Structure 1
């Protein structure tokens, strides 16, 4: 099975051949972010590290979409949304809100977390289980709601 980096490379070439400039540019941006980390840290990244970088790219697109919505720039919102859909193809299946709630509940009960003061501990415990599979803001909100019960 090819690595995520190999899949990005293959899909980038396919997009270029198909003259799909938008898709090629989006994939190229993701590849550049990965290459930057590899060159800066002088390492060869594994899939889990690539997933972290792609998750950051997804987060940036979501934040940009919010700003563009505030500025009534629907054209840019649509562009970011399309980029987001392309990037999500390379991340693991996204968790549903119910799945996140279950992970939070299980982790909090396992740790004996009962108040909002334990939020940092709970977030640290669930981070490895959700990385690249859920939006951090949503997870944080769910943890807050659970601990405020």
Structure 2
């Protein structure tokens, strides 16, 4: 199995040769963010580190997309949407709403969470078990709703 870094490198070269400007730009930004993170933590990056970087980039694109749509900038929203699609190719398969709900129910039982004050325990367990496979905002809302009932 190849690493995420290896896949990014090979896809970068392929995008360069194919003159795929969107994919090339996204991968260039991703490589730069990875290099900066590597310098920051003073060690080579693991696949988990790459997933964190990609997740951060996805979050930025979603926030930008939301703002562009809110202000009627469909041209910029289309660019963000295309870049978001490229980034999502590198993330593991996302949990469905039903799978997320089942995981939350199981983790609430395992951690013994009683109410909203135990939300941190459940979110931490969810992150350990399913890192990069769920939207943090949706998961947070689901955990809060589950613990409030």
- Scaled by the length of structure 2, the TM-score of the pair is 0.95
Tell whether 2:7 aligns with 1:7: yes
Q: What SS does the aligned partner of 1:55 have?
A: helix
Query: Where in structure 2 are there 5+ consecutive unaligned residues?
Result: none
1:40 Cα deviation after fit: 2.0
Alpha-carbon distance in structure 2 between the residues aligned to 1:83 and 1:11: 14
Q: What SS does the aligned partner of 1:143 have?
A: helix
Partners of 1:59 and 1:135 within 8 A in 2: no
Tell whether 2:27 aligns with 1:27: yes
Count the aligned residue pairs. Answer: 149
Give the RMSD, CA atoms, in angstroms. Answer: 1.0
1:83 Cα deviation after fit: 0.7
Alpha-carbon distance in structure 2 between the residues aligned to 1:59 and 1:130: 17
1:60 counterpart residue number: 60
Tell whether 2:109 aligns with 1:109: yes
Moved more, 124-133 or 138-147: 124-133
1:136 counterpart residue number: 136
CA deviation map 1:18-72 (0-9, x unaligned): 1111110011111111111012222101111111111111111111111111111
Q: What SS does the aligned partner of 1:137 have?
A: helix
Alpha-carbon distance in structure 2 between the residues aligned to 1:36 and 1:25: 17
Alpha-carbon distance in structure 2 between the residues aligned to 1:124 and 1:45: 22
Alpha-carbon distance in structure 1 between the residues aligned to 2:60 and 2:143: 22
Alpha-carbon distance in structure 2 between the residues aligned to 1:131 and 1:62: 18
Partners of 1:119 and 1:143 within 8 A in 2: yes
